[in-house]
Amino acid sequence: MAAAADPQLLPQAILATKREGGAWSRAQLGALVQGGLSAAISRPQLGAALAFALCRGMSDEETVGLTEEMVNSGRRLRWPAGGGPLCDKHSTGGVGDKVSLVLAPLWASLGLRVPMISGRGLGHTGGTLDKLEAISGLRVDLNEAEAARCLDSVGCFITGQTGALAPADGLLYALRDETGTVPSIPLITASILSKKAAAGVERLVMDVKYGSGAFMRTDAEATALAESLERVGAGLGMQVRCALTPMSTPLGRTIGNALEVREAVETLAGGGDPALRALTLRLTAALDPALEAPAAAALDDGRALAAWRGMVRAQGGDPDAPLRGLDAVKQSLVRAPADGYLRRLDALPLGQAAAALGAGRAVAGAPVHPGVGLELLVVEGEALSAGQPILRVWHDEVGLEVAQSLIAQAVEIGPR
């Protein structure tokens, strides 16, 4: 009824406002979101609105308004008062990025509460939920009551987004992909922060990645997104802190679901890859510089690992069971063809290679193989001898030739 009463809320008027370079009012943003969900605004009209937003831009005030309307399109999770602050971490996506698996229990071991709503992988980037499902019995479809019990008993959980949480984001996210409007920084900002605000997060650390294996290819693009996230977060009453991190080479030593869980557990036990540990502590310092030293101690003295085991049990998993899929695949080595130095391990083709083996998906909703992936045995800059193993490929027969071709593209060996 409101759209009929006010001509400025008609779909054609909303489109004309942004097409002509104007700013959407809060009422127009509400009509756009609610109209899209109710089909009062058609998919072509909604796609046109996204295209105009990409081309004409949106102010911070508009982005705050859009984010709040997206939050209000569904349920807003409420957690009991008391206890530590409600904190979360989000990454813009990368190759071998298993930091969320480490940070949630690590922060819980420090007395923070971590209600982490995560997603699945698509394309060459892995998904936290896909990795967790390599753990026997673990559930990533917790309802609100189950999530609250985990938060109360363990201090953290990692689960998937339900359709009741910011449903407008699901609609707009799919349309952005279809209409080629994914690169819009205001739309990316609203998508990320709407889910976090709906989940009740008070303090958020954003790992904004740049490089060949990231969505943002340059540090300038990553900086623009980070600044938008921090400004709009402040407008929403949320503390958002961003760290810019490179993603031209994979993070850590593994790419693949069960392999990355194994590496995350090694890090939680005080070991693991030094780069993964360093980034974990850097993101903790971004949340609160005073927590960096206690976090390092919690990794080394067993508290972080104990919190991980508690989280796995609370979500129905068995932390002592063998990880799913690893015993059902073959292992093959990729060796250096000659003496030299490893000049490059390109994240993008390595992520694509793991996806080709079955660790990732090209279409949303497709299944993934928990046991396949890549294990990096050397690091960039390392001196190599002819025949020395560079990577271990965990595979069955699916996608092996494609993966081998992509690995060859990713590895560069030179005399210097």
Report the alpha-carbon distance of residue 414 to residue 343 in Å, rounded: 6
pLDDT at 393: 98
pLDDT at 83: 86
Q: How far from 335 is each of 66, 277, 385, 408, CA to CA, in Å?
A: 51, 27, 9, 11
Q: Tell me what the mean pLDDT of segment 114-125 comes to.
A: 84
**254: enclosing H helix or E strand:** strand 254-255
pLDDT at 120: 84
Tell me if 200 sits within 8 A of 230, measured CB to CB: no
Pairing relationship of beta strands 156-160 and 114-118 according to DSSP bridges: parallel
Token readout for 348 is 């993008």
Q: Is the pLDDT of residue 94 over 70?
A: yes
Q: Is the pLDDT of residue 1 over 50?
A: no
Token readout for 73 is 């399109």
Q: Is the pLDDT of residue 2 over 60?
A: no
pLDDT at 215: 82
DSSP 381: T
pLDDT at 164: 86
Most confident of 2-11, 313-322, 407-416: 313-322
- Grade residue 352 by pLDDT with cuts at 50, 70 and 90: very high
Q: Which residues are catalytic?
A: 90, 169, 176, 191, 195
Count the neighbouring beta carbons within 10 Å of the beta carbon of residue 67.
30
Q: Is the pLDDT of residue 358 over 60?
A: yes
Report the alpha-carbon distance of residue 99 to residue 250 in Å, rounded: 12
| 247-276 confidence digits (pLDDT tens) | 999 999 999 999 999 999 999 999 999 999
| 185-241 confidence digits (pLDDT tens) | 999 999 999 999 999 999 999 999 999 888 888 999 999 999 999 999 999 999 999
Q: Tell me what the mean pLDDT of segment 152-180 comes to.
A: 90
pLDDT, mean over the chain: 94
Question: CA 369, 371, 377: angle at the middle one, nearest 5?
Answer: 130
Cross-strand bridge partners of residue 91: 207
Token readout for 40 is 């009062």
pLDDT at 3: 43
Q: Tell me what the mean pLDDT of segment 122-138 comes to.
A: 90
pLDDT at 354: 96
Report the alpha-carbon distance of residue 274 to residue 278 in Å, rounded: 6
- Grade residue 72 by pLDDT with cuts at 50, 70 and 90: very high
The percentage of the chain sitting over the pLDDT mark of 70, rounded to a whole number, equals: 99
Q: Is the pLDDT of residue 313 over 70?
A: yes
All structural domains of the chain: 2-57 (no CATH), 87-314 (3.40.1030.10), 326-414 (3.90.1170.30)
| 19-52 confidence digits (pLDDT tens) | 999 999 999 999 999 999 999 999 999 999 999 9
- Grade residue 361 by pLDDT with cuts at 50, 70 and 90: confident
